[in-house]
Structure 1
Amino acid sequence: MAVADTQPGPPLRLTDRAGSLTFLKGLLAVMRDLEAALVRESEGVRAGRIAEAMTGAPAKAQFAAAYTTGLEAAKANAIALARFAPEELETLKLAQKRFAAVVETNQQVLATARAVSEGLIKALAEEVGRTRTPTVYGRPSHSPSPYGRGGANSGPLVFSRSL
Structure 2
Amino acid sequence: MLVEKKKHRVFVNGPVSPQFIADSIAKHSSKTTIGAHDIFLGQVRADEINGKTIKAIDYSAYEDMAEEKFHEIRESAFSKFDLTCMHIYHSMGKVKAGEICLFVFTSSKHRAIAFDACRWIVEEIKANVPIFGKEIFEDETYIWKENKDTPALKGEKTNEQTNNKN
How would you bin the TM-score normalised by the shorter chain?
under 0.3
| TM-score for the superposition, normalised by structure 1 | 0.28
Q: Answer 1 or 2: which has greater helix percent.
A: 1
Output the TM-score relative to the length of structure 2: 0.27
> Which structure: greater strand fraction?
2
Q: Which has the larger radius of gyration?
A: 1
